[in-house]
Chains A and B, each alone.
Chain A
């Protein structure tokens, strides 16, 4: 049976059916969905999530964490109002029931779907393939497909349905009929079909019904939010840190795969992003910069409410004024060692700065998020003969103290959402030189900040030298920066903002 013939069949439209009997009403206020971040990975998004959950102690949260695999350890202490964490590994399991043995998992596996496979699963899967791979139809088609699949997954094994020969043949024939995808190798096509199953894993982890569902990215972690919104009318708030679609494209550009393979995946990401935007009642980017991408990707302007992050000023005290003391001037960077932070540019810039300012040092605080990239950073530092002037200090639990070790903070990222690192540095009284990416320009403004284009070591070095030239002025710049942050980017402002957004998103959904 082909995808098109299945789509032409009259459908009972299971996507719009309400199945309250299968869902568990709960006392959970907020279901927060994350992807590859909180509470298993440290970083900006996780800090944001932890601050929100901890700060809104009057609300009960469940965190629904989509992660790459099962080898994940929680990195944050669970606050009392966090009821539990649902861990949703996309890979590394043989059966989704391993991490979600909800009642009836054996029955779902043993139960034969019979005609419901043909009448419900296959048409929904065909709709999904057409929406995702061929780029036909709108977000509403993908939403309908996902809702139908989620209904099916309540009674039957999604895995067995996905493994079925008819499912594969539908996928294969749909792609083999396409002028571009037919040039996929058979192995690539299999890999893609399996990836579809893996990416749909959230359908096998139906959450309790919360008051509000809050997705932290327009990504696969938004799938449960979309299903909750469409099937149960749960208000859906979407926060975007980086623009997921943009980051996936950057990542795909680096893969050594054939064109049709990358096209399929980028179409898949685009479809999921568009679906998330379409279903969200409110979109709250952490920076106005994201809004430009979001509007270009189809979000109505009226839905967009930028909501910058905040930090706790007490965690970033001004212990030592910038530039004070007789020691050598010190640059400080707080960044994970990964490609998006472009540490290579920082090292190259520092190599230039060393030639101009005697004795200057660079301290880099941050974990090795990407081991291979971290190795390349160490190798580059050695190649540039930076010696002891550049120190990779590893992860730190006390970012405030780490920042106080430096006089000028530096950020060399090629992509940022909301730049926590910038706010934290300024809050700690460090003037900053940063790259003009993402939401950075919204935080880093003269005179306490200088912006340069990303990926340009010479420009970065020039800006650092310009700022370092007047060492006696650094303390004043740092104080100005701190004052600016205290006015706009405190935790209080941030939490009040989200209280307002949660109230607002409720009013956008008619009570059902």
Chain B
């Protein structure tokens, strides 16, 4: 074999017969019966089996698969198939036909983007529907509630705790479940879903129980504590049970289940609206939310049965599962990321509520309705922006492979440049779009939404909080996109650092800013936290994408 072995045959057996001549059509060759012409026919047939044979052995393998044995080779005057292969190999170059690449049909860019945007928007549909319906339906989960501040405080605390714990569990489940689901490894999808849901539920219940026993009941009393526990369990169940639907990409099911759950919740809210006892009213409402969660649980269960169990066959009981501790080790960064992410975006009203309580002379969290209203309205901009984030990451996923295939190995530097451009374009687009939405949407919402919902926000402090929180939430899609890049390329650490740093900054900055008593300043804490998140994940993702093919290689 030469240094570049593949290009010439191994000449280790004597030639049987010299071969020369000009190739003719297959039909022409078939009409003649000489050995010479048979060899031409076989050379062409060899190429049908192996378009680019490298050496004698490649040809021998193909000839054997065509039916040649020692007997067949001898019929043509050769001692063995290897002898025959040597001669046939000399003829194969005559019949080499370069492959034509199939060019995929061009789809207009705008159409692609619209498709990606709509596909990406599905991720946010349950959140969007919940926020919009509960907001507009004036159910007592947000600032529009007509419940007492104590009850609102319980619901708010419950939502915070449930979202944070469910966020962590959902991220872990999504990461590992998708890993197996994309491999169609259904036994392990089922294994991981069962483990993560069971451990997730246990963790959630433990967290709720600790918060209930250590903070809520001692501070607010038993009755309010029960409301907290009831809402925390219901919301946690709702959020966690949606995780398998996300993993299975069952967006229609998710939207339908969320709709039904909201209908149940709204129906409960209106059914119990005549009850004048605030605590009892809240308890019944919590029951309605819990009933809604049951709808999502049922939908998840059915989806898992349809998509996963049907692929299991009889093997479910015998497939060896991986070591759980190793799986947890690798999933943990994603769990911490999910936890920190929700802390970052939800902690500001919590810290403000504590300061608000201290300002009123009580050492407890009180529901800051004005601040909460501003933050809730600002949060609505994510309705528009989430689709853009997911559209960008879908586009990246779709473009990465063709981009790396366009550049041969000796042109890897160009591939890196192309990836850097991709990052700049996508992140730049999200930054600009987020800025525009943060600037334009809040005033628009104040005009569009019923005054009864926005009255509290229209105070100077409320408007300041709204304006700043709008820019604060505008940073979230930027960090989210950059985190997605990092997850895509198997580098969760910068995203993890970004989210944790964002959560810590958001908490501490808000606490420092509202320490003086002006709770509207708390929104700057949110902005600081999300900016830190966006900057760290942005730098991390740029660094990873700038390393181009090296990062993609290392993403296994």
By a beta-carbon cutoff of 8 Å, the part of chain A in contact with chain B is: 69-74, 87, 91-95, 97-99, 101, 105-106, 134-136, 163-165, 168-169, 172, 175-176, 178-190, 193-194, 197, 245-246, 249-250, 252-254, 259, 262-263, 266-267, 292, 296-297, 414-415, 435-437, 441, 453-456
Contacts and interface: CB of A to CB of B under 8 A. Distances in A.
A184 B322 CA distance: 35
B412 interface: yes
B461 interface: no
Interface stretch (B54-62, B247-255, B294-302): B54-62
Contacts of A181: 409
Contact of B404 (A99, A185, A246): A185
A186 B409 contact: yes
Q: Residue among A169, A249, A436 with the most chain B CB within 10 A? A: A249
B526 interface: no
Nearest to B547: A165
Interface stretch (B2-10, B164-172, B472-480, B530-538): B2-10
Contact of B6 (A106, A197, A246, A263): A263
Contact of A175 (B7, B401, B409, B411): B409
B278 interface: no
Nearest to A186: B404
Contacts of A297: 57
B401 A187 contact: yes
B50 interface: yes
A105 B64 contact: no
A166 to B, nearest CB: 10
Contact of B183 (A69, A252, A435): A69
A97 B185 contact: no
A225 to B, nearest CB: 22
A476 to B, nearest CB: 26
Interface stretch (B66-74, B135-143, B280-288): B66-74
A169 B548 CA distance: 12
Contacts of A172: 409, 412, 549
Contacts of B185: 69-71, 92
A479 B496 CA distance: 73
Interface of B: 1, 3-7, 49-52, 54, 57-58, 61-62, 64-69, 71-72, 80, 82, 179-180, 183-188, 315, 318-320, 322-323, 325-327, 329-330, 401, 404-412, 415, 547, 549-550, 552-554, 556
B188 A70 contact: yes
A179 B408 CA distance: 12
A185 B318 contact: no
Contacts of A106: 329
Contacts of A194: 553, 556
A98 B191 CA distance: 14
Given A97-B326, A187-B404, A454-B67, A176 B58 contact: no
A180 B65 contact: no
B404 A267 contact: no
B329 A163 contact: no
Contacts of A189: 409, 549
A473 B321 CA distance: 54
B179 A267 contact: no
Contact of A262 (B52, B72, B404): B52
B326 A101 contact: yes
A134 B61 contact: no
B3 A136 contact: yes
A163 B5 contact: no
Given A94-B327, A176-B412, A414-B64, 19 more contacts: A70-B320, A70-B322, A71-B185, A94-B179, A98-B327, A168-B554, A176-B409, A179-B4, A182-B408, A183-B410, A184-B409, A185-B409, A186-B408, A186-B411, A194-B556, A249-B61, A254-B49, A296-B57, A455-B65
A243 B177 CA distance: 38
B408 A92 contact: no
A267 B67 contact: no
A175 B62 CA distance: 28
Given A135-B5, A190-B549, A71 B183 contact: yes
